[in-house]
Amino acid sequence: MIDVLTSYTFLIVAIGTVILAFACGIVGTVSVIKGQSLIGDAIGHATFPGIIFAFMLVGVMETYTLALGAVIFGIFAFFTIQIITDSSKVTLDSALALILSSFFGLGMALKSYVQGHPGFSGTQGIDDYIFGQAAYMLRTDVYLIIIASVISLLLFMLFYSHIKIYVFDPIFSKSVGVNTGLMNFMILSMTIVLIAVGLKAVGAILIVNLLIAPGVIGLLWSNRFPMVLIIAGFSGAVSAFTGTYVSTVYAGFATGPSIILAMSILVLLSMVFGSKGLLHTHRKRNQGVVS
Amino acid sequence: MTRNIIEVSDLSVAYAHNPVIWHINLAVKANSRTAVVGPNGAGKSTLIKSIMNLNKPLSGKVEINGKKPKHALKNIAYVPQKGEVNWDFPTTVLDVVLMGRYVHKGWFKRMNKADVAAAMDALSTMKMEAFKDRQISELSGGQRQRVFLARAICHDADFYIMDEPLQGIDITTEKLIIDTIKALQAKGKSFLVVHHNLDTVEEYFDHVIILNKSVIAQGTIEEAWKKENIDKAYDDRSVTT
Ligand SMILES: Nc1ncnc2c1ncn2[C@@H]1O[C@H](COP(=O)(O)OP(=O)(O)OP(=O)(O)O)[C@@H](O)[C@H]1O
Ligand SMILES: [Mg+2]
């Protein structure tokens, strides 16, 4: 089992998932703080039919085409949510639930059709996009992940101060010259693109966990934004490595669930032991120093 | 004291086609402490946001020091009305005050010792040094307000725009804020402050703008702060919607 660690294929795949989780952790923390975690969930599910449409159009499982299909459906879902909430009395959480389930339902229907249709071949691979199967990741899948993650991280670093002020105090940020529309657009595009490239590794159902759980962990340990981001990035990375390892060594374990399991253990530990976690607040309360 | 720091001409603003303020003409004198008063929904915050270039007016023009607001932002420190910030954001008091430095430093430079010293100065002016490492969500309402004032001071602008800085705070903090405003005025700064308590207008300000959808009266306290003007603004019958 140890030789897995030195196997070339494993290393390539692990590098991909680790970098992906690191970037998702950092970008996703913004949604966590803005209280918009479920938007990522809806978009994640909504990308699934995009994958299948893209496959139906070109007839082969080609990395870039499928990712493009996912991005297009992610954007489509986002704007549908906007239109629903802006033009009707439907609340945001209902709109999110509606879009999440109806898009994913569409995806499942398309999947059955495609897999039952003799005209399409190699359709088994579609299943990998539901729960993620890092072991079947191709070199190009990994390259795409690395490109998207590195670009997201660089943009995030470049606009770090803008993002920070924008998320904390949008009106003030506008008054000091931050282009709030651009910031919003940038965060959203990064989220959609990271979801799209990460689908094969983690799957449409669970990808939201990669965006949300790290931020939750970070917030349980620190009350300083840069520190929260770093903790988020690294807890994502550690979970991704563990999950990828487990799913490579034990056949039958999908990668997505394995990563999410590792992440959930970290969340649980942080909830109990974190400096803002249960034990700590409990102790503070007993000492009567809760502020 | 005759130069105008702000000139607003024929400004009208609407939200979704409902006009909120119309044909506003006003001037704010340099080095003044100008209050904006008017009933709830009179359009005070809307006016302030137009001056700060935060919304799109239907018509009219705002000039700050003879320039478009967009090009004068460096010179304005803005204190938002309560409740417009994300209180769950993980940040400390000192960090918030440091945000006031960005306009001077440019966005891509790191904060240095001088910036921190300026922020600590501002905090001590607002008597908040002891709280510098506290997370902002763990402050009381009045303490939060002091932190935002400190950020504005740290911004070191020539012109301060504040939307109800005295809302929901105790008398000690209120006095502290007003004394700070007066001290800064003595250093040549100007103030435009939305204010609700009619009893303290004369004591705290030297100029006043009385607003209710349009400008009812403006000028020095002597010129404009008259019973008939106040009655006109607060008379229920004149208030539509
Ligand atoms: N974003 C918005 N969309 C639609 N209408 C708005 C919006 N903001 C304000 N309004 C409306 O515009 C009018 C003026 O609002 P504004 O906030 O400027 O009043 P104000 O004088 O600051 O009141 P207050 O004393 O309560 O702070 C109100 O009738 C309000 O309902
Ligand atoms: Mg207001």
- Give the per-residue pLDDT at B237: 53
Amino acid of residue A82: Q
CA torsion A266→B91→B110→B124, rounded to 10°?
-150
**Among A176, A224, A228, whose Cβ lies nearest the Cβ of B103?**
A176
Does residue A144 lie in a domain region?
A: yes
- Give the per-residue pLDDT at A166: 94
Q: What is the rounded CA–CA span in Å between residue A256 and residue A128?
A: 10
Nearest to A44 by CA among A7, A21, A73: A73
Nearest-CA distance B90 → chain A (Å)? 4
Does residue A79 lie in a domain region?
A: yes
Under a CB-based contact definition with an 8 Å cutoff, are residues A225 and B91 in contact?
yes
CA of B81 to the centre of ligand 2 (A): 7
- Give the per-residue pLDDT at A238: 97
Query: Scanning every residue of chain A, which has its alpha carbon at the shortest distance from the alpha carbon of B81?
Result: A171
- A241 vs B84, more confident: A241
CA of B43 to the centre of ligand 1 (A): 6
For chain A, the straight-line distance linking the first and the last C-alpha, in angstroms and rounded, comes to: 50
Kindly give the parts of chain B with pLDDT less than 50. 1, 238-241
Instruction: Evaluate: CB of B19 within 6 angstroms of ligand 1.
Output: no
Does residue A263 lie in a domain region?
A: no
- Give the per-residue pLDDT at A124: 84
Mean of all residue pLDDT scores within chain A: 91
Stretch A57-70: mean pLDDT: 91
Stretch A188-198: mean pLDDT: 95
Kindly list the distances between the CA atom of residue A24 and the CA atoms of A18, A156, A197, in Å, as whole numbers in the listed order: 10, 11, 11
Residues within 5 Å of ion ligand 2, judged at the Cβ atom: B 45
- Give the per-residue pLDDT at A190: 96
Under a CB-based contact definition with an 8 Å cutoff, are residues A50 and A77 in contact?
no
For tokens 């709280």, name the residue: B131
Predicted confidence (pLDDT) per residue in A122-146, tens digit:
888 898 899 888 878 888 999 999 9
Q: What is the rounded CA–CA span in Å between residue A264 and residue A285?
A: 26
Nearest-CA distance B156 → chain A (Å)? 13
Structural domain span for residue A87 = 2-205
Nearest-CA distance A224 → chain B (Å)? 5
- Give the per-residue pLDDT at B56: 87
pTM of the model: 0.87
Q: Is the CA virtual torsion B146, B205, B213, B58 positive or negative? A: negative
Confidence band for A1, pLDDT divided at 50, 70 and 90:
low
Predicted confidence (pLDDT) per residue in A75-121, tens digit:
999 999 999 988 888 899 999 999 999 999 999 999 999 998 888 88
Amino acid of residue B225: W
Query: Which ligand has the shortest distance to the CA of B44?
Result: 1
Q: What is the rounded CA–CA span in Å between residue A224 and residue A31?
A: 16
* CATH code assigned at A142: 1.10.3470.10
Residue A90, token pair as written in the block: 């439907």
Does residue A239 lie in a domain region?
A: no
- Partnered with residue B190 across adjacent β-strands are B159
Q: How many domains, chain A? A: 1
- Give the per-residue pLDDT at A32: 95
For tokens 């809307």, name the residue: B46
Does residue A142 lie in a domain region?
A: yes
Fold of the CATH domain B4-88+153-238: Rossmann fold (3.40.50)
Nearest to A95 by CA among A37, A39, A32: A39
Q: What is the rounded CA–CA span in Å between residue B164 and residue B26?
A: 20
Does residue A267 lie in a domain region?
A: no
- Give the per-residue pLDDT at A49: 96
Residue B7, token pair as written in the block: 């000139």
The answer to whether the Cβ–Cβ distance between A172 and B78 falls below 8 Å is yes
Confidence band for A290, pLDDT divided at 50, 70 and 90:
very low
What number of C-beta contacts closer than 8 Å exist between A and B? 70
Residue A259, token pair as written in the block: 């990563």
Stretch A193-217: mean pLDDT: 94
Q: What is the rounded CA–CA span in Å between residue A97 and residue A29?
A: 21
3-state secondary structure chain A: CHHHHHCHHHHHHHHHHHHHHHHHHHHHHHHHHHCCHHHHHHHHHHHHHHHHHHHHHHCCCCHHHHHHHHHHHHHHHHHHHHHHHHHCCCCHHHHHHHHHHHHHHHHHHHHHHHHHCCCCCCHHHHHHHHHCCHHHCCHHHHHHHHHHHHHHHHHHHHCHHHHHHHHHCHHHHHHCCCCHHHHHHHHHHHHHHHHHHHHHHHCCCCHHHHHHHHHHHHHHHCCCHHHHHHHHHHHHHHHHHHHHHHHHHCCCCCHHHHHHHHHHHHHHHHHHHCCCCHHHHHHHHHHCCCC
Residue A56, token pair as written in the block: 């139906």
The answer for residues whose C-beta is within 8 angstroms of residue A63's C-beta and 6 or more apart is A138, A140, A141, A144, A200
Q: What is the rounded CA–CA span in Å between residue B134 and residue A70?
A: 43
The answer to whether the Cβ–Cβ distance between A161 and B73 falls below 8 Å is no
Q: What is the rounded CA–CA span in Å between residue A10 and residue A13?
A: 5
Largest Cα–Cα separation, chain B: 57
- Partnered with residue B209 across adjacent β-strands are B36, B218
- Give the per-residue pLDDT at B236: 59
Confidence band for A2, pLDDT divided at 50, 70 and 90:
low
Q: Where are the domains of chain B?
A: 4-88+153-238
3-state secondary structure chain B: CCCEEEEEEEEEEEECCEEEEEEEEEEEECCCEEEEECCCCCCHHHHHHHHCCCCCCCEEEEEECCECHHHCHHHEEEECCCCCCCCCCCCEHHHHHHHHHHHHHCCCCCCCHHHHHHHHHHHHHCCCHHHCCCEHHHCCHHHHHHHHHHHHHHHCCCEEEEECCCCCCCHHHHHHHHHHHHHHHHCCCEEEEECCCHHHHHHHCCEEEEEECEEEEEEEHHHHCCHHHHHHHHCHHHCCC
Nearest to A20 by CA among A155, A135, A143, A118: A143
Residue B27, token pair as written in the block: 């001037």
Does residue A67 lie in a domain region?
A: yes
**Among A34, A227, A291, whose Cβ lies nearest the Cβ of B138?**
A291
Q: What is the rounded CA–CA span in Å between residue A117 and residue A113?
A: 6
Query: Scanning every residue of chain B, which has its alpha carbon at the shortest distance from the alpha carbon of A216?
Result: B90
Q: pLDDT > 90: what percent of chain A?
A: 69
Chain B residues in contact with A174 by the CB 8 A cut-off are: 52, 54
